[in-house]
């Protein structure tokens, strides 16, 4: 990790090539990345390829198994499951990724600052305690009550709810990341290389960006993987309670939740969203693994 500092500006391009080379040699990461891209392409361009309206109800075709007309079958109202999976994926993927990114950013920022600056440690950690203690449901009820109408008038109804959901999930799930990052930073800042860097007059900002952050990358990566799954499931719980997207707005979590009642009769209905969520999380996990290895110069050399 120390050698990152030695890298000159003009050499940085070749460093990223090194990272890419290492990443490429990681089979799991490549498969994961490929899979992730397929899902992203699928949910983005799917509606052009599969043109059935996900909210269209064909009541005579309800509860059908997979067929040529409906490859994933239909639900209890005769809506096409494939179309709903595609539409649901757009929401779930974007909520999952954005909320995770927000939580990760907040968590890492607060964790690093608290761990690095002794003065801020106390207040920031008490803030973390407060957020950990806040009961989620009443907090969300209040947020919805206060901000739903304001946000929908600024961003429009769908985007407004998206912003609300992402913020709600983000600000209620950064705390574990913050505590974990802080714990690691506390230990790392006492290491010899940090002392060495300090003795040559490295500024705090550079110290954090070049020496501290690269060393807490692995727990952050794990948090990211777990965070996506968490965000997708939380979103479905919130929408179910009426705190999120309108009820006819499919998401993966919601599809999973709705189909649990039909587990015995139509098991395939649980399978599609369950598999989609699991594989997305797995893909992100392998990409995270690959990135971690690729960014570690000691492994890269091997």
Partner 1 sequence: MNLKATLLGAAAAFAMAPMAMAERGSDGHVNIIYWQAPSLMNPYLSGGTKDLEAASLVIEPLARYDETGAIVPWLVDTVPTVENGGVAEDLTSITWTLSEGLLWSDGTPVTSADVRFSWEYCTAEGGGCAQSEKYNDVTDVEIVDDRTVIVHFGISKPFPYGPFVGAQSPIIQASQFADCLGAAAPSCTDANFSPIGTGPFTVTDFRPNDVISLEANQNYRDANLPAFSSVTFKGGGDATAAGRAVLETGEFDYAWNLQLAPDVLANMQSAGQGQIVSGFGTLVERIMVNMTDVNPDLGEERGTAAHPHPFLTDRDVRQALSMAIDRALLTEIGYGDAGRPSCNVLPAPAIYASTANDGCLVQDIAGANALLDAAGWERGSDGVRERDGVRLSMLYQTSTNAVRQDFQALIKQWWSEIGVETELRNLDASVFFGGDPASPDTFQKFFADVEMYANNFDGTDPESYMANWACEQAPRPETQWQGNNMPRFCSEEYDALVAEMSTTGDINERARLAKAMNDMLMQEYVIIPLVDRGRVSAHSNTLGGVILNTWDSELWNAADWHRLSN
Partner 2 sequence: MLNFTIRRLLLAIPTLLFISLIIFLLLTLAPGDPTANLPLSIPPEVKQQIRESLGLGQAWYIRFVLWVKAFYITEPLYLIESLTGWDVYGDQQRVLSWQFRSPVMDIVTQRLPQTLWVVGLAYLVGALIAVPIGIISAYRQYSMFDQIGTFVSMIGFSVPTFFTGVLLIVIFSVWMPLDSFFWLPSIYDTTLEVTNWETFVKQVRQMILPVTVLALFNAAQISRFMRASMLDNLNQDYVRTARAKGLSEKTVVFVHVLRNSMIPVVTVIALGVPQVFGGAIITEQVFKVNGLGQLLITAIQASDIPTVQTLTVIFAALIIFFNLIADILYGVLDPRIRYD
- Give the alpha-carbon dihedral of 105, 101, 98, 95, to 10 degrees: -120
- Reference 231, options 107, 130, 45; nearest CA is 107
User: Of partner 2, partner 1, none, which one sits near residue 235, judging by CB under 5 to 8 A according to partner kind?
Assistant: none
Of the pair 62, 118, the CB lying nearest partner 1 is at 62
**Least distance between partner 2 and beta carbon 17 (Å):** 22
Look at residue 198 and give its three-state secondary structure: helix
Residue 30 near partner 2 by CB under 8 A: no
Q: In this chain, which of 87, 179, 211, 269 binds partner 2, going by CB under 8 A?
A: 179
Residue 264 near partner 2 by CB under 8 A: yes
Of the pair 123, 242, the CB lying nearest partner 1 is at 242
Burial class (CB in 10 A: 0-12, 13-18, 19+), 203: exposed
Q: Would you tell me which residues interact with partner 1 (CB under 8 A)? A: 55-57, 59, 62-63, 76-77, 79, 141, 145, 149, 157, 240-243, 246-248, 258, 261-262, 264-265
CA 291 centroid distance within chain:
16
Of the pair 21, 149, the CB lying nearest partner 1 is at 149
CA distance 271 to 253: 12
Residue 159 near partner 2 by CB under 8 A: no
> Which residues make beta-bridge pairs with 74?
80
Tokens coding 6: 């030695």
Q: At how many degrees (to 10) do helices 81-116 and 118-133 cross?
A: 140
What's the length of the chain? Answer: 302
What residues line the site for partner 2 (CB under 8 A)?
Answer: 28, 122, 125-126, 128-130, 132-135, 137-139, 141-142, 145, 175-176, 179-180, 183-184, 186-187, 190-191, 215, 218-219, 221-222, 225-226, 229, 232-233, 253, 256-257, 260, 263-264, 270, 274, 277-278, 280-282, 285-286, 292, 296, 298-299
């Amino acid at each position: 990790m120390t050698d990152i500092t030695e890298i000159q500006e003009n050499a940085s391009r070749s460093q990223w090539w090194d990272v890419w080379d290492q990443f490429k040699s990681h089979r799991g990461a490549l498969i994961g990345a490929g899979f992730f891209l397929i899902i992203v392409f699928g949910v983005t361009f799917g509606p052009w390829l599969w043109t059935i309206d996900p909210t269209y109800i064909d009541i005579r075709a309800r509860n059908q198994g997979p067929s040529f007309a409906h490859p994933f079958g239909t639900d209890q109202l005769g809506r096409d499951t494939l179309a709903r999976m595609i539409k649901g994926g757009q929401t779930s993927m974007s909520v999952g990724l954005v909320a995770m990114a927000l939580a990760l950013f907040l968590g890492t920022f607060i964790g690093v600052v608290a761990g690095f600056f002794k003065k801020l440690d106390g207040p920031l950690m008490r803030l973390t305690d407060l957020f950990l203690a806040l009961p989620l449901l009443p907090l969300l009820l209040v947020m919805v009550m206060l901000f739903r109408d304001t946000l929908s008038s600024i961003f429009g109804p769908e985007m407004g709810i998206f912003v609300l959901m992402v913020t709600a999930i983000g600000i209620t799930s950064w705390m574990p990341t913050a505590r974990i990052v802080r714990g690691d930073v506390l230990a790392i800042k006492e290491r010899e290389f940090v002392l060495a860097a300090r003795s040559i007059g490295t500024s705090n900002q550079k110290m954090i960006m070049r020496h501290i952050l690269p060393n807490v990358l692995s727990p952050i990566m794990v948090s990211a993987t777990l965070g996506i799954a968490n965000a997708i499931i939380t979103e479905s719980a919130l929408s179910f309670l009426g705190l999120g997207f309108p009820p006819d707005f499919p998401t993966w979590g919601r599809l999973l939740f709705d189909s649990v009642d039909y587990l015995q009769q139509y098991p395939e209905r649980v399978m599609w969203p369950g598999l989609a969520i699991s594989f997305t999380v797995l893909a992100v996990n392998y990409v995270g693994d690959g990135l971690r290895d690729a960014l570690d110069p000691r492994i890269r050399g091997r």
